[in-house]
């Protein structure tokens, strides 16, 4: 274990005073868990095979200290930057935390995801909260003005001063599920479900054709081509409503679209907007994959630290950085600088032009 301290060097403050952990060792353990989804108990066994004995609790202590002492500074700067944008995506997923005051171990908690849109610098932030209450996105996105891509969850209605943009992928999925749920004998309903699905597919076909056009041109072409499809689909939904069983899968698909209609047609308002919230869903997937491996967080503090670390590594990846080398760079720089100087902190953000080339993923096309 003494060898881990050799990386610190004698001229720099330690990344964790009183510990032998080096910036590279802390970055390695962190990237193993939050990039490669390797839980601490597996890291402990992995290191033992190389003759290195580091208890999993020690690894956890390193990560908690690194996240809350150093990475939280970067997270806070990224959060400030996120709120200056006018187009964001949001999503949420479940998490189990075993030890929280006044809560049973089986309680369901939530990890929230907020990120920038297609036309912007990638910023991907996670936020741990005990519940799915709408007050959480409202507080996290306080002062945000603009558009927010979401699914159909009503909690996002609590976010003020934003226009919610619905997800056509969810709408289309409802009709796909309705088709799968229908027995072969229900031919009339199957025809109607296919008609609803066809309207959704028309919109996605148009979007694929507009993939590479400018936001200004996309806005104009959508008004010309997508708006008539929306008008026809809206009329079809109203026509079908009294003809289907409300609690059937097809009835639920129709109800979803009608209830979400103002949000589903909101993508027409700005050519930078997307037709679905797939960008948000893709960004929360790394956490979902990690959760399948480590299953739960032991404490609330651990869950909050996980949110910070996922935010750093996922934003780094989307800005073309290697998470391990970027984390190592942060743990080398932050203990040696005035962290109250926002100008210097800004130079460490994942999209900064001052990030060393060694932190960047090589361009394979060159």
pLDDT of residue 183: 75
Query: How many Cα atoms are found within 13 Å in the side-chain-facing hemisphere of 148?
Result: 29
Give the pLDDT band (50/70/90) at residue 296. Answer: confident
**Which of 360, 341, 350, 324 lies closest to 23, judged by CA?**
324
Q: What are 39-61's pLDDT values in tens digits? A: 999 999 999 999 999 999 999 99
Q: How far is CA 339 from CA 72, 75, 135, 336, in A?
A: 11, 13, 30, 9
Give the confidence band of 38 by pLDDT, cuts at 50, 70, 90: very high
- Assess whether pLDDT exceeds 80 at residue 364: no
> Which residues on adjacent β-strands are paired with residue 116?
88
| Of 99 and 325, the one with more pLDDT | 325
SS3 103: strand
pLDDT at 121 over 60: yes
Residue among 206, 208, 202 nearest 222 (CA): 206
| Stronger pLDDT, 340 or 99, i.e. the higher one | 340
Residues 297, 97 contacting (CB under 8 angstroms): yes
Residue 125 CA from chain centroid, whole number: 6
Q: Return d(Cα 150, Cα 96) in angstroms, integer.
A: 23
Percent of the chain at pLDDT > 90 equals 84
Mean of pLDDT over the chain: 92
CA distance 141 to 152: 18
CB 4 within 8 A of CB 25: yes
For 319, the 3-state DSSP assignment is: coil
- Quick one: pLDDT at residue 185? 66
Angle at 284 between CA 280 and CA 286, to 5 degrees: 135
pLDDT digits (tens, 9 = 90+) for 3-32: 344 444 446 789 999 998 999 999 999 999
Q: Give residue 235's pLDDT band: very low, low, confident or very high (50, 70, 90).
A: very high
pLDDT one-digit tens code per residue, 153-174: 999 999 999 999 999 999 999 9
Query: How many helices (H) does the chain have, and how many strands (E)?
Result: 15, 6
pLDDT 10s digits, 54-90: 999 999 999 999 999 999 999 999 999 999 999 999 9
In this predicted model, what pLDDT tens digit does every residue of 183-208 receive, in sequence order? 766 667 788 999 999 999 999 999 99
Find the helix or strand (DSSP H, E) in which 124 lies: strand 124-129
Is the CB of residue 149 less than 8 Å from the CB of residue 90?
yes
Q: Give the mean pLDDT of 217-246.
A: 97
Separation of alpha carbons 280 and 284, rounded Å: 6
Q: Evaluate if residue 102 carries a pLDDT over 90.
A: no
Q: What is the pLDDT of residue 87?
A: 98
What pairing do the DSSP bridges indicate for beta strands 108-116 and 87-99?
antiparallel
Whether 297 has a pLDDT exceeding 80, the answer reads yes
**Residue ranges per structural domain of the chain:** 2-81+320-359, 168-273
**Predicted pLDDT at 295:** 67
> Mean pLDDT throughout 327-350?
97
The reported pLDDT for the residue numbered 2 is 38
H-only helix segments in 120-248: 135-140, 168-181, 187-209, 215-221, 227-240
């Amino acid at each position: 274990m003494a060898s881990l301290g050799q990386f610190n060097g004698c001229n720099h403050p330690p990344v964790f005073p009183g510990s032998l952990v080096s910036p590279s060792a802390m970055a390695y353990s962190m990237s193993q868990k939050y990039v490669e989804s390797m839980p601490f108990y597996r890291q402990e066994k992995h290191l033992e095979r190389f003759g290195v004995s580091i208890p999993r609790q020690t690894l956890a202590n390193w990560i908690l200290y690194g996240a809350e002492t150093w990475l939280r500074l970067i997270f806070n700067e990224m959060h400030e930057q996120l709120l200056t944008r006018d187009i964001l995506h949001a999503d949420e997923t479940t998490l189990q935390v075993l030890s929280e005051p006044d809560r049973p171990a089986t309680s369901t908690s939530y990890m929230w995801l907020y990120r920038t849109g297609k036309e912007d610098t990638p910023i991907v932030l996670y936020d741990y909260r005990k519940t799915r209450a709408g007050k959480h996105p409202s507080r996290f996105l306080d002062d945000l003005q603009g558009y927010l891509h979401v699914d159909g969850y009503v909690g996002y209605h609590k976010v003020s001063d934003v226009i919610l943009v619905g997800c056509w992928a969810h709408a289309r999925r409802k009709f796909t599920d309705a088709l799968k749920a229908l027995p072969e004998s229900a031919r009339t309903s199957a025809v109607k479900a296919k008609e609803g699905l066809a309207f959704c597919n028309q919109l996605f076909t148009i979007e694929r054709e507009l993939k590479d056009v400018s936001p200004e041109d996309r806005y104009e072409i959508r008004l010309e081509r997508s708006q008539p499809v929306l008008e026809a689909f809206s009329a079809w939904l109203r026509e079908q409503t009294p003809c289907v069983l409300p609690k059937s899968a097809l009835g639920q698909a129709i109800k979803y679209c009608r209830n979400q209609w103002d949000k589903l047609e909101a993508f027409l308002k700005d050519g930078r907007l997307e037709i679905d919230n797939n960008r948000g869903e893709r960004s929360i997937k790394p956490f979902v994959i990690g959760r399948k491996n480590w299953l739960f967080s032991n404490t609330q503090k651990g869950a909050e630290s996980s949110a910070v670390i996922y935010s750093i590594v996922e934003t780094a990846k989307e800005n073309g950085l290697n998470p391990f080398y970027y984390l190592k760079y942060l743990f080398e720089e932050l203990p040696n600088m005035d962290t109250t100087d926002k100008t210097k902190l800004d130079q460490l953000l994942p999209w900064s032009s001052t990030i060393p080339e060694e932190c960047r993923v090589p361009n394979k096309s060159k």
